[in-house]
Amino acid sequence: MEETYKEQEYKRLKALVELRQEIAKKIYAAESLTEEEIKKQIPNASYEEISNALRNMLVLKLIKKEGFPVKYFLAEEIKEKLSVRSNTQNADNNKIRVSVIIESKSNDKERLEIAMSTILKNLKENPQLVVYESNLAEVVVHDDLFSTYIDAEISCPTFASLLQLVYYYGVTSIDVIKPEKLSLPISDLQESLFTIIDMTHGYADMIYKLKEENEKLKAMFTKR
């Protein structure tokens, strides 16, 4: 199936963000790097991709350049964020880490902003999850509705908790960061199956209740 423009644009922006993050990590580890040194440390990216990413990072004031030959340095704010991320990663024992997007639309802008802010707050306060990075996008108008999304990097302790994350927070897109392979102990598999059963029954109950309400409404209008 051919990708839509929105899907292509999302992939392009995602690749740019990931390359920016990789460049930032390399500069953070070395304190400063030239463009050539960055290219050598990220061989899977083309020279043009790295040049474009560096220009983008300069515009966003994520990095600065000084000296001759020109060396790139991280902005102090980014250094602090990477330091916090490093501390978070060192303290994180969760074996699954994912990048997620949670999209939502509404005809009421204020309610949409409140609902999405609440979802992000609940994510951060969930004791099972570790939220590395998160962002709530600005509300835009799309298809005559207000639209926004949350993008976040989150770790989960078990496969069952990952299923709960996807279902209860309405995840619309997900990429697995780690692990490359996952072995499930039988207890985790059992919990995951119960989670799926609960979600399936909950969904079935919701459909049944909606059907009942629909039948009642039909009966009311038929009497009239």
Question: For the segment 101-111, what is each residue's pLDDT rounded down to a tens digit?
Answer: 999 889 999 99
Q: Which two tokens stand for residue 81?
A: 């964020």
Q: How confident is the model at residue 15 (pLDDT cuts 50, 70, 90)?
A: confident
Instruction: Kindly indicate the confidence band of residue 145, based on its pLDDT and cuts at 50, 70 and 90.
Output: confident
By DSSP bridging, strand 140-142 and strand 63-66 are unpaired
Judge whether residue 1 has pLDDT over 60.
Answer: no
Confidence of residue 82 (pLDDT cuts 50, 70, 90): confident
Q: What is the mean pLDDT of residues 53-59?
A: 92
Element (H, E) at 178: strand 173-178
Contact predicate 199/166, CB 8 Å: no
Residue 189 predicted with pLDDT over 90? no
**Cα–Cα distance for residue pair 134/38, rounded to 1 Å:** 26
Q: Which of 64, 157, 72, 146 is nearest to 111 (CA)?
A: 146
Q: What is the mean pLDDT of the segment spanning 163-167? A: 89
pLDDT class of 202 with cuts at 50, 70, 90: low
Distance CA 126, CA 131 (A): 9
Report pTM: 0.61
The pLDDT assigned to 18 comes to 84
* pLDDT confidence of residue 71: 95
Q: What was the pLDDT predicted at 7?
A: 64
3-state SS assignment for residue 152: strand
Residue 219: what pLDDT? 64
Angstrom distance (rounded) from CA 58 to CA 74:
10
Encoded amino acid at 57, one letter = M
- The answer, yes or no, to whether residue 131 has pLDDT greater than 80, is yes
pLDDT at residue 139 is higher than 80: yes
Q: Give ∠ CA 210-216-221 in degrees, rounded to 5.
A: 125
What is the pLDDT of the chain when averaged over all its residues? 85
| Neighbour tally for 3: CB within 10 Å | 10
Q: How far apart are alpha carbons 7 and 9 in whole angstroms?
A: 5
Collect all residues with Cβ–Cβ distance below 8 Å to 157 and sequence separation of at least 6: 93, 94, 95, 96, 128
